[in-house]
């Protein structure tokens, strides 16, 4: 039990769309308790009308992201003891996305930008062809390996001040996805992706503040991916393709 007491005060942003209010609940304090546990307790024992989103509870699905004391976090892997301030915690829906209700945001704009950034697979072979052999030690593959661990949680998107100021900006996650495909020898639309991230709202709008990398719960580095896209798009513009 916490030295602060047997309960914690949890303030949650309620309501639909842009209109909302804050409601405070008193939740029993447990020694080992995540922010998602707290939200679940409120929904199960205090207010069944509370809307929130979660699935795996083990940091794999990326669906439980919320703003915790003003910072984006994956709530299933965030211990209350690490974020408690004066025995209270404030929970809001993740930033930069429209609120559907309470803690649930509409993720469509987030994933629409993945598509706009060319983040879909462009196959080079048909199902009748043999699978292309990829050297796991090649530089391009190593560059991709860490980045495909992105769990699509939207934490980087919520942390990004450029997205907040420039809603047309594709955002760190979509651009990092594009960077994996640019480096993927099995993707057949490298130039198409570079063109997609070179227009208005593309990678060149990033101010390199690095909030995406700082807050990524899986320790990925979207900032470096965006820097890579900036380099490759400039090379591409000047006709100096990396693999030429």
Binding site for another protein (CB under 8 A): 162, 165-166, 168, 198-202, 204-205, 230, 233-234, 237
Least Cβ distance, residue 102 to another protein (angstroms): 27
CB nearer to another protein: pick between 74 and 169: 169
Least Cβ distance, residue 148 to another protein (angstroms): 25
CB nearer to another protein: pick between 95 and 230: 230
Contacts of 199 (CB under 8 A, 6+ apart): none
Q: Is 53 helix (H, G, I), strand (E, B) or coil?
A: coil
Q: Which residues pair with 184 in a beta bridge?
A: none
29/88 Cα distance (integer angstroms): 11
Least Cβ distance, residue 169 to another protein (angstroms): 9
CB nearer to another protein: pick between 62 and 172: 172
Least Cβ distance, residue 167 to another protein (angstroms): 8
Least Cβ distance, residue 126 to another protein (angstroms): 33
CB nearer to another protein: pick between 98 and 168: 168
Is 28 in contact with 41 (CB distance < 8 Å)? yes
- What's the token pair of residue 62? 């990326």
Query: Which residue in 83, 104, 102, 78 sits closest to 23, CA to CA?
Result: 102
CB nearer to another protein: pick between 60 and 227: 227
Least Cβ distance, residue 207 to another protein (angstroms): 8
Query: Which residue in 32, 9, 6, 33 sits closest to 22, CA to CA?
Result: 9
Tokens 């083990």 label which residue? 58
Query: Which residue in 209, 196, 202 sits closest to 170, CA to CA?
Result: 202
Contacts of 214 (CB under 8 A, 6+ apart): 159
CB nearer to another protein: pick between 2 and 198: 198
């Amino acid at each position: 039990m916490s030295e602060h007491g047997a309960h914690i005060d949890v303030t949650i942003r309620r309501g639909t769309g842009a209109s909302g209010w804050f409601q405070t609940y008193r939740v029993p304090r447990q020694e080992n308790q995540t922010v998602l546990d707290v939200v679940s307790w409120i929904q199960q024992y205090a207010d069944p009308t509370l809307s929130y989103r979660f699935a795996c509870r083990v940091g794999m699905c990326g669906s439980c992201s919320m703003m915790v004391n003003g910072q984006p976090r994956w709530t299933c892997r965030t211990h209350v003891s690490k974020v408690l301030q004066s025995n209270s915690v404030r929970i809001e829906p993740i930033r930069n996305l429209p609120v559907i209700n309470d803690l649930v945001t509409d993720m469509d704009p987030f994933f629409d930008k993945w598509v706009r950034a060319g983040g879909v697979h462009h196959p080079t072979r048909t199902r009748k062809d043999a699978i292309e052999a990829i050297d796991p030690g090649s530089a391009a593959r190593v560059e991709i390996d860490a980045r495909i661990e992105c769990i699509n949680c939207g934490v980087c998107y919520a942390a990004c001040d450029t997205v907040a100021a420039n809603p047309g900006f594709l955002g760190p996650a979509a651009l990092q996805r594009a960077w994996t495909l640019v480096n993927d020898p099995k993707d057949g639309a490298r130039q198409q992706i570079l063109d997609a991230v070179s227009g208005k709202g593309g990678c060149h709008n990033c101010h390199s503040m690095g909030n995406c990398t700082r807050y990524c719960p899986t320790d990925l580095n979207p900032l470096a991916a965006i820097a890579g896209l900036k380099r490759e798009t400039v090379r591409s513009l000047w006709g100096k393709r990396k693999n030429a």
